[in-house]
Amino acid sequence: MEYRMDNTGDETYAMEHLISDPKTVVVGCGGAGNNSVDRLQRIGVWGARTIAINTDRAHLERVHADQRVLIGKRITRGQGAGGHPEVAEHCAEEAREELEMLLRGADITFITAGMGGGTGTGTAPIVAEIAKELGSVVVSMATVPFTAEGHLKGQRAAIGIEKLKRNSDSTILLANDKLLKMVPKMPVNQAFSVMDQMISEVIKEITEAVTQPSLVNLDFADLRTVMAGNGAATVLYGENSACDPQTVVAEALNNPLVDVTYDGATSALIHMTSGPELNLRTINKVVEGFTEVMDPNANIIWGARTDTKFSGQLKVLAVMNGLEMNYAGLPSVRIESCASEMACIPLVQ
C-alpha cells in the first residue's frame, strides 16, 4: 500500500488508511452463551460483532445480538437439544456452511458457552473448529457446572471442554461452584448474571485493548503471540486507586471465579488504563506484580492507555496463558468416537 501525506502535510488521513483494526466476532452457544452475548450487546463493545446460536427458538428470540441463528430445525423443531450434546453437535454440523459464512473474515473469535448441558456443550467445539480452520485466533470461555448437578453432567462438561480445547488457542474456564462462595444468598437470576457480567466485561476489555489507540499500544499480533499454544488461560481484572498498584494486581490475581496456578504461566498480555498522571513507576509495579508469580522465562507484553475518566484510578487487565487449571472436580474422561451416537439421534416429534 502506498503511503504519502496529503497536501497539508497532515498524516492523519494516511495513517487511518494504513491501520486496519482486527475483525472480532463473539459467538454465544446455547442458553448460557446466549445470555453472555445478550449482556455484551447491551453494554456495547467497540469493533465486535455478536452472534447467538441455539437449538431453542423460544430462548433465542429473547436474546439481543447482531445475528441470531437457530440450528437443527429439522432435528429439534426449535425445541432444544434436550440436554444431549451429541444432538446439538449434529445440528451444528448440519449448519456448517451457514456458520462458515458467519465466521469468515474474523481475526479474533470469542466463544462463550456453558458446559454440561446440550446445545452449548455440543456446538461450541464445532464453532471453534470452523473458526480455527478459517484462520481466526480462537478464545473460548466456558462455565463449569455445579458439583451438585451430578457426575453425568460433570462428565459431559469434561468431554465438551476437551473437544473445545482442541480447536481453541486459549480456553478459559469459570466455575459455577465459585458463585456459592461469592453470592450464596443472591436470587438465582442475579447470581448467574454475575458470571455473565464477568464474561462480557472480559471480552469487551480484550477487544478494546487491541482495537482502540493507547499510549503504549497492544495489537492483534500481540494477542496472537500470547494466545498461541492451545493452552489453558485465564483473564484477570483489577481496579483500584492509582496510588496503590500492588492492591490492583492482588485483586486481579485473586480472581474468585477460577482455580488456577500461576507459576507455570508462559505468557501474559497486560493492559493498564489510568488518568493522565500515569507514570513509569506505576507501570513497572503492575508488570512486576504479575511477573513475580509467573514462570521466570515467561513472555510478557504490556500496553497502557490514559483516559481522563480514570483520573486517580488504575484499571488492569491481564491475559495469562500456559496455565495449570483445576477443572473444579470434573471427572477424567476419554473421548471416543460419537459415530454410533450420531446414527441414532432422535428427531423431535
pTM of the predicted model over 0.85:
no
Q: Using alpha carbons only, what angle is made at residue 204 by residues 178 and 136, rounded to the nearest 5 degrees?
A: 100
Please name the fold of domain 22-209: Rossmann fold (3.40.50)
Could you read off the pLDDT of 216-230 as tens digits, one per residue? Answer: 777 778 878 777 765
Distance in angstroms (rounded) separating the CA atoms of residues 141 and 296: 27
Could you read off the pLDDT of 233-288 as tens digits, one per residue? Answer: 777 888 899 999 999 999 888 876 666 778 878 888 898 999 999 999 999 999 99
Domain positions in the chain: 22-209
Residue with the three cell numbers 449448519:
95
311, three cell numbers: 483520573
Distance in angstroms (rounded) separating the CA atoms of residues 33 and 27: 8
Mean pLDDT of 301-316: 91
**pLDDT score for 337:** 38
Nearest Cα to Cα of residue 272 among 215, 226, 198, 199? 215
In contact, 216 and 278? CB cutoff 8 Å: no
DSSP, residue by residue, 191-231:
HHHHHHHHHHHHHHHHHHHHHS--SB---HHHHHHHHTTSE
In contact, 108 and 24? CB cutoff 8 Å: yes
**pLDDT of residue 7 exceeding 90:** no
Q: What is the CA 224 to chain-centroid distance, rounded?
A: 14
**pLDDT score for 33:** 94
Residue with the larger pLDDT of the pair 297 and 146: 297
- Beta-bridged to residue 144, according to DSSP, are 175
Could you read off the pLDDT of 129-166 as tens digits, one per residue? Answer: 999 999 999 999 998 888 878 888 889 999 999 999 99
Name the pLDDT band for 327 (thresholds 50, 70, 90).
low
Q: Is 116 exposed, middle or buried (0-12, 13-18, 19+ CB in 10 A)?
A: buried
Residue 100 makes CB contacts below 8 A (sequence gap 6+) with 130, 134
**pLDDT score for 132:** 95
